[in-house]
Amino acid sequence: MYKLLENIKLALQAVWSKKVRSFLTMLGVIIGVFSIVVLIGIGQGLKNEVKDQIESIGSNLLFIIPGKINGGSLPTGLVGSSSLTLEDVSDIEQRPAIDSVTPISIVSQPVSRDNRPAPGALTFGTTPNIETNFLKGVETDIKEGRSLTQADMDSQAKVAVIFGAVKQSLFGDEDPLGKKFMIGKEEFEVVGWREARQSGSIFSGPEYSQAVLIPLTAVDQLAANIEIHRIILNIANAEQVA
């Protein structure tokens, strides 16, 4: 016991006799431990962020994109020419374990109202089930009007659901429901609008607040043919995603 106390006394004397060196050594250890703790915290935070964003969209979703994408730096340019077709959509719908399929055709046409453009607006031709398959992870509770319906699809209705930034660009503080705007040279009626979650997602892609949703069947009136640029698959059982 005496020897242990003597060793402690000698150690304290050595530390005290070289106060600056001892302080710098302690500071280095403190900074090193603090850095490790911070890095672990950042790593865990990023892991939770990825997990939360995946779960908010849906852990049972798969996204199919064309095997080759050509284009420039603009959002519409990044779409490029797609090799996916409506036949692919029909084929995928027949596969087992798939609950539903949502095709998306991205239309490269300007969006405007009374010659006032909506900068950055991007039009998506899609099917009504996008509401349950994907939008529940993108939109907030702030919304008015209705969603796209099967009746819109069957009649090739020129109707649209717009998101917050497009609403603000085209209508300002006006109620947009029932009002008309232009996609290219065609007039569409707003049947619903909603706010998107704030951007900052780790996932790439267009800002959803700039989105305009129209029936997939209405794309024929804006383009020579319907190209499928994305296909969203909803897997009935998340364990079968792999």
Q: How far apart are CA 194 and CA 139, in angstroms?
A: 7
* Residues found in the chain: 242
- Residue pLDDT, tens place only, 94-125: 888 888 899 999 998 999 999 899 998 999 99
Question: For residues 52, 56, 59 and 60, what is the CA-based torsion angle, rounded to 10 degrees?
Answer: 180
Rounded to the nearest 5°, which phi and psi values hold at 104?
-135, 125
Per-position DSSP letters for 179-204, written without gaps between them: -EEEETTEEEEEEEEEEEPPS--SS-
Q: Distances in Å between the alpha carbon of 137 and those of 59, 61, 64, 79?
A: 11, 11, 18, 22
Residue reference for tokens 């267009």: 206
User: Do 177 and 159 form a contact (C-beta atoms < 8 A)?
Assistant: no
Q: What is the pTM of this model?
A: 0.69
- Residue pLDDT, tens place only, 179-205: 999 999 999 999 999 998 765 444 444
Beta strands 211-215 and 122-126, pairing class: parallel
Neighbouring CB atoms inside 10 A of 57's CB total 19
Residue reference for tokens 């792999």: 242
Give 210 or 16, the one with higher predicted confidence. Answer: 210
* 165: Cα within 13 Å, side-chain hemisphere: 20
**Average pLDDT over all residues of the chain:** 81
Q: How far apart are CA 8 and CA 75, in angstroms?
A: 68
- Residue pLDDT, tens place only, 28-81: 888 988 889 888 888 777 666 555 555 555 567 888 887 655 554 334 444 556
Q: Which residues contact 52 (CB under 8 A, 6 or more apart)?
A: none
User: Do 130 and 102 form a contact (C-beta atoms < 8 A)?
Assistant: yes
Longest dimension (CA), the chain: 96
